[in-house]
Structure 1
Amino acid sequence: MKSNGTIRICGDFKTTVNPMLNVDQYPLPRTDEIFATLAGGQKYTKLDLRNAYLHMEVDDESKPLMTINTHKGLYRYNRMLFGIASAPAIWQRTMDQVLNGLDSVQCMLDDMIITGPDDETHLQNLKNVLQRLQNYGLRANLQKCSFLKDKVIYCGHEISADGLRKTTDKVQAVMETPTPKNVKDVRAFLGLINYYHRFMPNSATVLKPLNQLLEKERIWRWTDDCEKAFKKAKELITSDQVLTHYNPELPVRLACDASPFGLGAVLSHVMPDGSERPISFASRSLTKSEKNYAQIQKEALGIVWGVKKFNTFLYGRKFSLITDHQPLTAIFNPEKSIPVTTAARLQRYAIFLSGFTYNIEYKNTKKHNNADALSRLPMQSDMNINSEDADDLFHVLQIEDLPITSAEIQRETRKEKVLASVLYQAMNGWEITDDSLMKPYFTRRNELTVSHGCLLWGIRVIIPIKFRNRILELLHSSHPGVVKMKALARGHVWWPGIDSDIEHLVKSCTGCQINQHAPALTPLHPWEWPETPWQRVHIDYAGPFINRMFFVMVDAHSKWPEVFEMKSITATKTIDIMRQVFARNGVPAHIVSDNGPSFASAEFAEFLRQNGIKHTKSAPYHPATNGLVERFIQTFKQSMKAMKWESGDVNKKIANFLLTYRQTPHTSTHETPSKLFLGRDLRSRLHLLKPNLRNTVRVSQEKSCEIRMNKKDRQFEVGERVIAKDYRGKDPWVAGIISEREGPLMYKVSTDNGHTWRRHTEQLKSTQMPKSYEQSIENDNIIVDNTETRTQQHVAEKSPEQTKNNEMSMPRRNPIRERNPPKD
């Protein structure tokens, strides 16, 4: 039954046609978009079309489907009938096409509103609309039309030149609503209130008890607070608030605010006289996950939500963004880059806002009452925001046998006085304090966030005092040094003074102190860093220690290590292991080794030649040439010895060591070996940032070279008289002549006693000794039958510690005892 007493026939197709229908999708205009086009209008005309859907004829195939059953029989419609699911979309599209190109006219289904800045323009716009309706054969219902009125009722609002008002009938419906008896009644009442939410700047505060009744698993209980909210809401709906029309010529301001339980936004115009008039109010409650956000993130969420809510009015034009949270003026400043220490969520918000043209202003809370009141308790949100929160799940520490969980950290954070205060202020806003215990947190207040009840600084979990010693032990489980331990911690945990705590732990660790090695000081000429992984590989044997020998390979590009326990160190066994590794990683272009018997053999040389591998051998007794693998062996031995008091077999300890080493950033590359070698992180529980590798390697090499910047390279010419280091005779030096230069620091020396040696610059000295003195040295020396190769073989069988001790001591006068290598 229509309001005028006539009957409108509507078919009931919800169980017949509509379920099988491919419903046409076309958006109906939003009321705020309609009202936004009415700015500047002085009078208004409203037109209503007669029997709107019946203007559209349906095709013959569709007519049988539109048969209705009445008490007088079956009737088949030839025109569009009310009740078909696609009818509104089809009609709205049709009307938009009919009125396309006409100014100052809006249509919502069969209702049209027309305006103009003056009567003459208004009449011309009306004439154009009527002419267009006539051309398309559309008829208006004169009884429902209003012409050139100062105010009209359209889309449930009273529209005039001053702006928008609520209609009396809608207000009366709210006032006559009885006290709700169940959740369904509360939802219906809030629906009536929400229809006029744009008029109610402080409805949020009033409606909190009613919104809480709609929460899932909430037991129904109508309390005194609910009754007060119900009555207060009726009072608010009767206010005489007037919203101004949106005018694209006037400046626009968007004021946003957030409270612990909701968001609020006010869109307003700055009028020519300097006053502000609201265009619309908006508010919503926070979801369960959003309530756990830190206060700065809630404030930022309020800004982003407000911009999205009023996107129609803001996109493509400049506006002023008003906030009462001053740190956001720096983070969201459109003229500055996003601070690198900003939390990830705030960075995403800043990137979103970068698509708009705005300037951001700080306004003290006392002067920010419009949006602040909205946020105190907003309208119930129909959003279910869980996707972003799922991305923010974090791991406290991902190490096997995890001793501490996030639930324990959350519980202890609330118990600890300082952290409980930090947690509260991070959620509700910070107060200026001179407390020395709070200062480390206060200085980082803009970078602190809360996730699942735990405090985070960036991506690092803030650990309560109770768990700090256990976390330190966990970080030191494989006995890394200070630098690597700090690098691991910086990706996962933080507390004030963590760096000094790490340094103290390493210095007090018995295993680390007993087994650590002093760094060797030698003039450095760094190898060129390869461009790709597995291009140059450094190899060596480690041992014997812990009654075992180990074959070690290290990739020069990524620092990726391979370690194999060996029962035999022959060339054949070495080649077998290398074939296995080459099958996985490919054949390198360059191998660097010392002069051990396994690497100096003809069999090994032939294997490399067949595979097209260049072989570089270090100078005898000079392990620094192969320093990459030597340094790794030193680290490997130190960790293995430090772990000898721990349970587990050797293979498990080696596996744990390799996993930790491969996932820890190297001091030269500042990247993990796994990232450079595999192009990805291992399935690990520790991850770190990756800065520019080439620059970090260059800087690391330059720093190392600066240590020896006062040293000078010694250059020798072919034919020059020198004395060369003798490692087998009783005299430490033997005279000779430079016969060939093999590299920038490597020479062949023909000694006066008939031998040809390869020597490093550090093993040679220029000489001006008279010939007779050189001859006397030659006569005094006792030349044994053993060749230098045997001496080198003997030295290669010694551990790096023994080699180093020999270099630092005086040459031995007594024969050197030879040790047999381990047998198969």
Structure 2
Amino acid sequence: MSPTNCKYRCASNQNLPVLGVITIPTSTAKGEKPKQERFVVTRLPLNLIGRESCKSLGLSLDQLLFDNVHKIFQNIKPDTALQNSCKQLCSEFPDLFKQELGTLKDFELEIRFKPDAQPVFHKPRPVPIAVQEDLDAALQAGINRGIWEPTQFNPYGTPVVPIKKKSSQGQASIRVCGDYSVTRLQDNGLRCRLEKCSFAQPYVEYLGHYLSKDGVGKGPKADAISQMPAPKNVSSLRSFLDQVQFYGKFLPKLSTTLEPLYHLTKKDIPWGAPEQAAFQQIKDLLSADTVLAHFNPALEVGISCDASECLQHRWPKNIPATTKPFYALRDSLSLADGCLFYGHRVVIPSALQPQVLQILHLGHFGMQRMKQLARTAVYWPRIDTDIEDIARHCAACNKHQRLPPKQPSHPWVTPEKPWSRVHIDHAINFRGHNWLVMVDAFSKYPCIHLMTSITTKATTRKLDGDFAHFGYPHAIVTDNATCFSSAEFHTWCEQRGIEHLHGAPYHLETNGAAERLVQTFKQSLKKSTLPPADALQEFLMHYRRTPLASGSSPSELLNGRQIRTAIDIIVPAQISTQPRDVTTSCSSLSKDSPCFALAYKGGRKDRWRPAVVTAVLGHKLFDVRVLPDGPIWRRHADQLRKRHTRHQPK
């Protein structure tokens, strides 16, 4: 069989699919044996010979049509057994086929109106004279059967549209359609018109389809679609596409076939050869005898879906929560070699993210270096947060962390009157001597003593001498030296009603006033050529006399007068009683806060120890307990770091 481009149409103008052409030998009554071409088509139950073939074989069409045809009749023998079965079925259910109106059992219908609904009344329409008699008969039949009730006045009115329906008796009737068995109909109180029922038919037409014992086939509408001319505009094209979709289940790969036609619905797209080929292919598919078989539970069940190559790839309207982070990046996502990329970075699935984080943290770099490294190769939503989390909770990084940034200084509040709070410190082994340094917080008035011993007893003896001149202060501030932290010094303060304040060990800034005076004193003595005792007296004389930033000297602020020195030029200034405007900043640590405390013993290996704040002693001063059951240390905020604890999910 050879391919051919010939096309055939049947009497209904429907295309006949041509499979090919074959050449066969023939013989005539005269003994001739010519070879003729025969076209092989589908959908024909018998062979056809055309007029040209008849002439070539010496056959007379008149003789074939008139001499041999005597009578045309339908030779169909009635199936007596089938007719008897139908009659028996009707006799078994007499109530089902009664002429009276049926009532649906166990069912209530409630029609609800809106509270603000208004009645609608339409005038009756003129009825054609040809159907007036049939309409009156149909209305009267409905009244007799209890379907309608006549009323003289009614706020609601709808015009009647008489539609003639098929009836075996030629009268208007109501068609009853149902998909249930006769027992189901009878049990629910419904009725059927026997003259409207058909039994044992080879096929029936239902909803535009043919239903038969073989399955579901295309209805007569398919022939009408296959005869449609080519669309001339977008409107007719859309109409054709909508009608084709009605029989879409019979057309394999419909989306792929219709893709060129869907492309035509856009603006300024010309009709070309691909569109014409798709249009003709659809019509050929509609002309094919495709039947969907009935479901057979005895056969193997398979799932058949549209395997068309033309699909729609887009983001869903309702995006799942797991996909939302990628929606904003949709224009930068791509797929290569089975891997999802965000730009040049590979998108890591959640199962592999912990391993990638460990790789990023191999060098124990900080957060910024880890982020810069990740931005060259990998990505996932919230990757920066995950990097910060692993960097904060790394035990090795926390153990060897540098000192935290210095906390903003929180100056001592300036006392309201002199000699209320004094700061005390020792200058050890300076120019071969030990010195006791004391300064008033209000006036900055200095008192310095040359010490032969720095014991508690020797220190308190010098302090008693100064207090004999100026009185007992309300509070004294010292560091944690042995002479100041002893019980003897604590008792000495209690006996004199003095509050003893001291800061964290190794944090010199807490006692900054005394430390600053020690530095100034040392610088002055280094530059002096006098003996230490004489240089001390010279320093105290000029320091007490020199005006401060307020314009008043320490001596004037403490004693209310200036002392006389070699400089006799005095410019008195008004004492400022307003506290200085100092910006303060409180630490964010509170009681029971986890932290790391700086250890000054044990080497740099264990420099930071995990601890918990046990008491808040001031803006920057805390008591912390070393974990798990270690001692209590006093530390300044500069000697502490926050410790982040990992919360376990519930």
Answer with 1 or 2: which has the greater Rg: 2
The two structures have a TM-score, normalised by structure 2, of: 0.35
Higher helix share: 1
